[in-house]
């Protein structure tokens, strides 16, 4: 990796301090996931990152991705019902595929990844006391075997995402987990709807709609999902966002 180690160390410290700050505050779990995916890109030199959660119905759902392109690949992966992410989720173990061109494990997935310009993928499980609730996917555009250090950092980021889902240890843990998973998926739906509303009103691309939504949530110091909710229920005037 070209990043000088001291600079990366500093960036890592900054990222984890920010995460810790977020975790002790009243945070939006989807926004935290987006930040984590961004951290994977900037800290680990991956080209795209995506986070998938179980919907407890037997399906994994993409809840966050660093780019729309990664989103695409993951959706393909779900469609194909095969791939490193599903294997990672099912086995609770990291899955490494440094070169999909020579990897024979998931032919359909490899072809779809290639179509989207991705050559390598690493999947890291989100584990919570014996239960696997999702996986973090790291994509590279060129052949890449991630180092043990990089994988350790990636796993730590995945663990933070897991902690974020279950921030407090409630006595009704099972119910709590279900509530939190469903709430995260609902937030994701609301944000996608709000992106659609903005993209249509402003005749802008969906990722641009998302950027503006996120920037406004930050500048007005509100949760991304709360802002998205007011966009979808019509109580927020979107005109200022579309100028």
Give residues in contact with another protein (CB under 8 A): 55-59, 61-62, 71, 75, 78, 172, 174-175, 178-179, 182-183, 186, 188-190, 192-201, 203, 206, 228-229, 232-234
* Shortest distance, position 139 Cβ to another protein, whole Å: 17
* Chain position carrying tokens 């037997």: 58
Q: Is 109 exposed, middle or buried (0-12, 13-18, 19+ CB in 10 A)?
A: buried
* DSSP 8-class letter at 26: -
Report in angstroms how near the CB of residue 150 gets to another protein at its nearest. Answer: 28
- Of 69 and 153, nearer to another protein (C-beta) is 69
Angle at 185 between CA 179 and CA 189, to 5 degrees: 135
Residue closer to another protein by CB (options 66, 119) is: 66
**To the nearest whole angstrom, how small is the minimum distance from the Cβ of residue 175 to another protein?**
4
Residue whose CB is less far from another protein, 16 or 76: 76
Upper half-sphere CA count for residue 147 (Cβ side, 13 Å)? 7
Angle, to 10 degrees, between the axis of helix 173-202 and the axis of helix 224-232?
Answer: 60
Nearer to another protein, 80 or 189 (CB): 189
Taking the complex as a whole, the smallest distance from the CB of residue 183 to another protein amounts, in Å, to 6
Q: How far, in Å, CA of 232 to CA of 65, rounded?
A: 21
**SS3 state of residue 121:** strand
Smallest gap from Cβ 79 to another protein, in A, equals 9
Q: Nearer to another protein by C-beta: 98 or 196? A: 196
User: Smaller CB distance to another protein: residue 119 or 238?
Assistant: 238
Tell me the C-alpha distance between 150 and 155, whole Å: 9
The minimum distance between CB 204 and another protein, in angstroms, equals: 8
206 touches 68 (CB < 8 A)? yes
């Amino acid at each position: 990796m070209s990043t000088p180690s001291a600079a990366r160390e500093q960036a890592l410290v900054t990222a984890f301090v920010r995460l810790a700050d977020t975790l002790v505050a009243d945070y939006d779990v989807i926004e935290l996931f987006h930040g984590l995916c961004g951290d994977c890109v900037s800290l680990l030199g991956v080209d795209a990152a995506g986070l998938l959660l179980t919907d407890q119905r037997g399906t994994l759902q993409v809840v966050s991705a660093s780019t729309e392109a990664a989103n695409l690949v993951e959706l393909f992966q779900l469609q194909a019902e095969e791939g490193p992410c599903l294997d990672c989720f099912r086995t609770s173990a990291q899955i490494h595929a440094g070169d999909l061109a020579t990897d024979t494990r998931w032919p359909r997935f490899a072809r779809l990844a290639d179509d989207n310009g991705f050559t390598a993928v690493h999947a890291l499980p989100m584990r919570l006391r014996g239960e696997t609730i999702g996986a973090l996917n790291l994509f590279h555009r060129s052949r890449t075997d991630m180092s043990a250090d990089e994988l350790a950092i990636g796993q730590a980021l995945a663990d933070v995402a897991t902690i974020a889902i279950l921030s407090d240890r409630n006595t009704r843990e099972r119910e709590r987990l279900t509530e939190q998973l469903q709430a995260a998926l609902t937030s994701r739906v609301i944000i996608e709807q709000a992106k659609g509303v903005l993209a249509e009103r402003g005749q802008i691309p969906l990722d641009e709609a998302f950027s503006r939504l996120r920037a406004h949530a930050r500048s007005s110091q509100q949760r991304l999902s709360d802002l998205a909710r007011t966009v979808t229920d019509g109580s927020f005037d979107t005109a200022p966002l579309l100028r």
